């Protein structure tokens, strides 16, 4: 059995669209509030930083908002996506177990990536693991002692801050070993690109994402319409009830 595994990373999106999938198709591994985790991670560092400031303009009122307004390319969180193309119709439970093991590995190995959201989604012949996390660095000599920093987080964890290759390599190695234990050979997007037609794979993935987004958009439109109807009827009911009791 040979399956294709792709590892993607980016700025991320916390839209709760994945909740549309039924409980049978998704496994939520982590679901934390982003703002609350920012308070937990950075409040003490912000307070210590503000105490040292003589210029009131340098005082940080909200670190969360500071990152949103950042002009340095910082983002509130990052996202890692593991995509497994299940071409051989392997039992989803087996793939899910492997991805759950990877999630546990990620928490231990990448301890400067604070995971806030993580979910496994089984869709058609593909399984996705989404990991949204806040990268943070510690023991900083300048500015805040603890702050949002992807490069700083990698440095704290002993990785090469100038390359994602080092960071991704360990992920690929772990996944290959886990799949191998289950007698499944995998092709990764980087290491085995010559063995797969990446252009065709990307076309298929793009089409799949577009089709899924259409379904999700329709779902939210219907839900929004139903919500509006509930509001209208509820408002009308209160008006009739008030009119009836006033007689």
Q: Of 30, 27, 115, 39, nearest to 77 (Cα)?
A: 115
The whole-number average pLDDT for the span 173-180 is 90
pLDDT above 70 as % of the chain = 66
Please report, for the chain, the start and end positions of each structural domain, with discontinuous segments joined by +. Answer: 2-194, 197-247
pLDDT of residue 6: 80
Query: 242 Cβ partners below 8 Å, 6+ apart?
Result: none
Residue 124 DSSP code: T
DSSP 54: S
- Tokens 């969360």 belong to residue: 64
Q: Which residue, 204, 180, 1, is CA-closest to 89?
A: 1
More confident residue, 10 or 156: 156
- Percent of all residues in the chain with a pLDDT value above 90, rounded to a whole number: 38
Q: What is the mean pLDDT of the chain?
A: 79
- Which one is predicted more confidently, 181 or 13? 181
**Confidence band of 88 (pLDDT split at 50, 70, 90):** low
Report pLDDT for 219: 57
pLDDT at position 3 over 70: no
Confidence of residue 59 (pLDDT cuts 50, 70, 90): very high
Q: Tens digits of per-residue pLDDT, 116-132?
A: 999 998 877 888 899 99
Q: What is the pTM of this model?
A: 0.73
The mean per-residue pLDDT over the stretch 39-63 comes to: 94
Q: Which residues of 202-236 are buried (b: 16+ CB within 10 A; e: fewer)?
A: eeebeeeeeebeeebeeeeeeeeeeeeeeeeeeee
When pLDDT is cut at 50, 70 and 90, the band that residue 102 belongs to is very high
The residue among 10 and 61 whose pLDDT is bigger is: 61
User: Over 60: is that where the pLDDT of 183 sits?
Assistant: yes
Lowest mean pLDDT across 2-16, 149-163, 219-233? 219-233
Query: Lowest mean pLDDT: which of 86-100, 103-117, 193-207?
Result: 193-207
Q: Which residue has the higher pLDDT, 48 or 19?
A: 48
Q: pLDDT band for 215, please (50, 70, 90 cuts).
A: low
Average confidence (pLDDT) over 232-240: 58
Question: Topology of 2-194 in CATH?
Answer: BirA Bifunctional Protein; domain 2 (3.30.930)
Q: How far apart are CA 237 and CA 193, in angstroms?
A: 62
Residue 227 confidence (pLDDT) above 60: yes
Who has greater pLDDT, 187 or 159? 159
């Amino acid at each position: 059995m040979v399956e294709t595994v792709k590892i993607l990373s980016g700025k991320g999106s916390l839209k709760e669209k994945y909740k549309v999938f039924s409980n049978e198709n998704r496994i939520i591994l982590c679901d934390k509030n982003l703002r609350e985790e920012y308070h937990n991670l950075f409040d003490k560092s912000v307070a210590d930083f503000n105490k040292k400031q003589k210029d009131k303009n340098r005082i940080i009122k909200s670190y969360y908002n500071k990152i949103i307004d950042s002009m340095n390319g910082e983002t509130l969180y990052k996202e890692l996506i593991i995509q497994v193309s299940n071409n051989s119709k392997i039992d989803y439970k087996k793939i899910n177990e492997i991805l759950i093991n990877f999630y546990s590995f990620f928490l231990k190995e990448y301890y400067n990536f604070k995971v806030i959201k993580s979910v496994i989604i089984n869709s058609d012949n593909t399984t996705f693991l989404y990991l949204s996390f806040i990268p943070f660095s510690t023991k900083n000599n300048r500015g805040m002692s603890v702050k949002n920093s992807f490069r700083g987080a990698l440095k704290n964890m002993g990785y090469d801050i100038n390359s994602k290759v080092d960071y991704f390599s360990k992920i690929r190695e772990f996944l290959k070993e886990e799949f191998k234990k289950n007698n499944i050979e995998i092709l990764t997007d980087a290491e085995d690109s010559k063995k797969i037609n990446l252009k065709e794979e990307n076309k298929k993935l793009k089409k799949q994402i577009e089709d899924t987004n259409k379904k999700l958009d329709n779902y939210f439109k219907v839900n929004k319409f139903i919500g509006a109807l509930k509001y209208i009827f509820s408002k009308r009911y209160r008006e009739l009830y008030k009119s009836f009791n006033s007689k």
